[in-house]
Structure 1
Amino acid sequence: METLEYQVKINAQPEEIWTVLWSDISYQQWTSAFTKGSFYEGTLEEGSTVKFLDPNNNGMYSLVEKHIPNKEMTFLHLGDIFDGVETPQDWGNATESYFLEETEDETILTVRINTSEEFKDFFEEKFPNALKNVKHLAENQL
């Protein structure tokens, strides 16, 4: 398992960034960096299961391990979804965490991912663009 970390400074309040990250419409916009039409199903309450899907009903499902509004969200990835069918995977401690830290001038969004080697290149290619999308959306909200 390898830990990857991505960070971006955003000129917006944590509440505004949180809304961009997790509201349906803006979630679809920033995650288009991974797959166009991405969305999630389920609630983001601690202990609940969320499905992260593409328009073809493929993706993964995860447990919400931690949810502290406007500060932290952590998912434990449990398995794949292909054609809507969930298949558990033994990914160990494959987590994806989002942290918001407010400073005097801005908010720092940090994403920390524990992943296997097979997914590293995907994250390295896609996550910087996804964070650029979050920054753009948060700084240009109407």
Structure 2
Amino acid sequence: MQKLRYSVRINAPVHTVWTTMLDGATYRDWTRAFSEGSYYEGSWDQGSEIRFVGPGEDGSLSGMIGRVVENRPDEFVCVEYFGQIVDGVDDTTSEAARQWAGAREAYSFSESDGVTTVEVELDSEESFAAFFDEAWPKALERLRDLVAVR
């Protein structure tokens, strides 16, 4: 695994950015950069299971299964993955699922003079780095656009 980092500055209060990023409806919008139709099931509450789901190539559901290991509202949220969803079925035991076990994705939020900085840090297999390097900046730009209309 390698650590990947991305950030964006958004001209809005931290609470507005936090809410826009994690709200179910707006999450579906800014995450289109990763996969059209992406959404999450579950809760961002600390200790909760959360599933990141989207349509696979054949139309079946695919995605990742994680647990929210830390949630400090308007400041920090971190998910640790322990499985994947393949063809609509949860998988926590295959070799592919075990490769992602323990990988984390964290969002940090800080505000200064009405400008919020969102920093994203995630663990990634090397084979996904180029995809994330293309998708994350687009996703964060879309998040900035969504915040601007709120």
TM over 0.5: yes
Q: TM-score, normalised by structure 1?
A: 0.94
Show structure 2 runs of 5+ residues with no match. Answer: none
Structure 2 match to 1:28: 28
Structure 1 match to 2:111: 102
Structure 1 match to 2:54: 54
Counterpart check, 1:117 vs 2:123: no
Q: TM-score, normalised by structure 2?
A: 0.89
Structure 2 match to 1:7: 7
In the alignment of these two chains, the number of paired residues is 141
What is the CA-CA distance between 1:134 and the residue it aligns to?
Answer: 0.6
| Identical residues among aligned pairs (%) | 34
Structure 2 match to 1:44: 44
Contact 2:3–2:123 (Cα < 8 Å) also in 1: yes
Structure 1 match to 2:84: 80
Write the distance in 1 (CA, Å) between the matches of 2:131 and 2:103.
15
What is the CA-CA distance between 1:105 and the residue it aligns to?
Answer: 4.1
Q: Which amino acid aligns with 2:76?
A: E
Cα RMSD for the two superposed structures: 1.2
Runs of 4 or more consecutive aligned structure 1 residues displaced over 6 Å after TM superposition = none
Structure 1 match to 2:68: 64
Write the distance in 1 (CA, Å) between the matches of 2:120 and 2:71.
14
Contact 1:94–1:116 (Cα < 8 Å) also in 2: no
Write the distance in 1 (CA, Å) between the matches of 2:90 and 2:134.
26
